[in-house]
């Protein structure tokens, strides 16, 4: 394995991946703390918040698509040391993220019950989820803006800044959640509404600290309003040509994940709560993978931007080998430790515990497939500028294979949710089978700048 001997590769990868992984760990820990606190309110509350957050999940992955697309340009401009163009791309990313944020915020505030009824038929889950959604939607716009600046910071070699800001956000969210959910310091207990207000407060503090960190020093991203909006029609068209497949892919893929949640909800409240609990745990295992995938995007994009395409190809091979090792090791740990991880969630009834345990085992056994897919698409193909192929592959497998299989399993087959989850993983396997020959072909290497 040559990448163990390539000190420059390892040093660069670790310098980018570890802060991003730590930031993702903190973010996942926020979600876990939320779920842990809400789990004490019962499985109805878990299901309500979990499903309400599917709307946020759909939204945030569209925002991720916008900024993942912008990171392709920023990485390549960073390789060319073109600061003015980096600031133009950042301005476009901020503008588009804010626009999407406005649409989703207005929709969630005005029509929360309509959204919840699409996701599940349980009246009490709909009521609690609507209460949560109407409040937490107020945090959508600051979340999008913070995300845009954080991605740009990571792509320009400053991953430690969003990592530190995530630590502040974690403690803010945890403290306010505890106070507001359970009614401490003389404040009435607010239940799921308290969790929503805790998130709202944390997100506004996060964007405030992010902007302060960027503008207190005259760094690469400390752009004036004029610089952020100095792009013209030609620049916008070039940006959209490359980024729209990423945005469409993330939108289609995330909507597919929402459809999975709807399919699982057809099995009842318990299956919905189990999926929420186990996804929260799996996200903790996935943090290092996200760090590696983001490092892959930055390093490959920078190499292509500087004209070193052969080195970009070698990096791609190294990252796929590393992803395989990570996926196998972390997957085995996840499959062998469900009793340990589920101890964190108090008050689970025996049936919910049993379902969650089996789900964690299945997730662990199929983990390496998800890791290879994420690294191949988000890291290699998008980092190389091959966004159209990545879009077709990512969205196509979800909608042609995954979603139909999930609904067939939920509506026609009399099998538990963890077996349906296992069958749905066929979608991820086919994706990996198609990614590998694409990487070997080198057709994904494209200078988009």
Q: Over the stretch 162-172, which tens digit does the pLDDT of each residue have?
A: 888 888 888 89
- 3 secondary structure, DSSP code: G
Q: Is the dihedral of CA 149, 151, 152, 154 positive or negative?
A: positive
What is the pTM for the complete model shown? 0.73
DSSP string, 78-143: HHHT-HHHHHHHHHHHHHHHHHHHHHHHHHHHH-HHHHHHHH---HHHHHHHHHHHHHHGGGHHHH
Percent residues over pLDDT 90 in the chain = 26
The closest of 388, 372, 375 to 425, measured between CA atoms, is 372
Contact call for residues 294 and 17 (beta carbons, < 8 A): yes
Percent residues over pLDDT 70 in the chain = 95
The predicted-structure confidence for 42-100, as pLDDT tens digits, reads as follows 778 887 887 888 888 788 878 888 887 788 788 888 877 888 888 888 888 899 999 99
Q: State residue 401's pLDDT score.
A: 92
Q: What is the dihedral of CA 407, 409, 415, 418, to 10 degrees?
A: -80
Arithmetic mean of pLDDT, 433-437: 93
Distance CA 58, CA 56 (A): 5
Arithmetic mean of pLDDT, 220-247: 81
Q: State residue 27's pLDDT score.
A: 65
Q: State residue 3's pLDDT score.
A: 58
Maximum mean pLDDT: which of 60-64, 217-221, 347-351, 435-439: 435-439
Contact call for residues 391 and 241 (beta carbons, < 8 A): no
Contact call for residues 168 and 209 (beta carbons, < 8 A): yes
Q: How confident is the model at residue 5 (pLDDT cuts 50, 70, 90)?
A: low
Distance CA 238, CA 232 (A): 10
Q: State residue 361's pLDDT score.
A: 95
The predicted-structure confidence for 352-386, as pLDDT tens digits, reads as follows 899 999 999 999 999 999 999 989 988 898 888 88
Residue 216 has pLDDT above 70, yes or no: yes
């Amino acid at each position: 394995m040559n990448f163990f001997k390539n000190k420059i590769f390892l040093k660069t990868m670790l310098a980018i991946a570890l802060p991003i992984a730590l930031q993702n760990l903190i973010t996942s820990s926020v979600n876990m703390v939320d779920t842990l606190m809400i789990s004490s309110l019962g499985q109805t509350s878990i299901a309500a918040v979990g499903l309400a957050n599917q709307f946020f999940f759909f939204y945030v992955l569209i925002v991720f698509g916008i900024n993942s697309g912008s990171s392709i340009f920023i990485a390549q401009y960073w390789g060319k040391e073109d600061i003015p163009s980096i600031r133009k791309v950042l301005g476009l990313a901020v503008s588009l993220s804010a626009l999407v944020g406005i649409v989703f915020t207005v929709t969630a505030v005005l029509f929360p019950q309509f959204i919840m009824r699409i996701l599940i038929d349980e009246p009490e889950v709909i009521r609690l989820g609507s209460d949560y959604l109407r409040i937490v939607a107020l945090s959508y716009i600051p979340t999008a803006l913070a995300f845009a600046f954080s991605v740009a910071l990571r792509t320009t070699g400053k991953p430690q800044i969003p990592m530190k800001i995530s630590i502040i956000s974690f403690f803010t969210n945890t403290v306010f959640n505890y106070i507001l959910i359970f009614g401490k310091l003389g404040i009435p207990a607010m239940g799921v509404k308290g969790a929503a207000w805790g998130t709202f407060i944390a997100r506004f503090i996060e964007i405030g600290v992010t902007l302060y960190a960027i503008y207190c020093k005259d760094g690469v991203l400390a752009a004036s309003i004029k610089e952020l909006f100095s792009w013209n029609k030609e620049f916008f068209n070039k940006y959209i040509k490359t980024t729209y497949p990423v945005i469409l892919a993330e939108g289609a893929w995330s909507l597919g994940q929402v459809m999975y949640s709807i399919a699982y909800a057809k099995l009842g409240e318990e299956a919905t709560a189990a999926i929420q609990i186990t996804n929260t745990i799996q996200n903790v295992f996935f943090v290092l993978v996200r760090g590696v995938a983001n490092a892959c995007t930055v390093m490959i994009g920078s190499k292509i931007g500087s004209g070193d395409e052969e080195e970009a190809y070698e990096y791609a091979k190294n990252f796929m080998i590393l992803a395989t090792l990570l996926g196998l090791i972390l997957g085995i740990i996840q499959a062998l430790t469900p009793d340990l991880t589920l101890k964190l969630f108090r008050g689970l009834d025996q049936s919910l515990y049993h379902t969650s345990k089996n789900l964690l085992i299945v997730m662990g056994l199929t983990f390496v497939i998800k890791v290879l897919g994420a690294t191949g698409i988000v890291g290699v193909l998008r980092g190389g500028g091959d966004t159209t192929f990545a879009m077709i592959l990512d969205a196509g497998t979800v909608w042609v294979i995954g979603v139909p299989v999930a609904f067939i399993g939920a509506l026609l087959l009399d099998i538990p949710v963890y077996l349906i989850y296992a069958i749905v993983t066929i979608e991820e396997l086919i994706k990996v089978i198609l990614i590998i020959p694409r990487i070997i072909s080198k057709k994904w290497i494209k200078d988009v700048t």
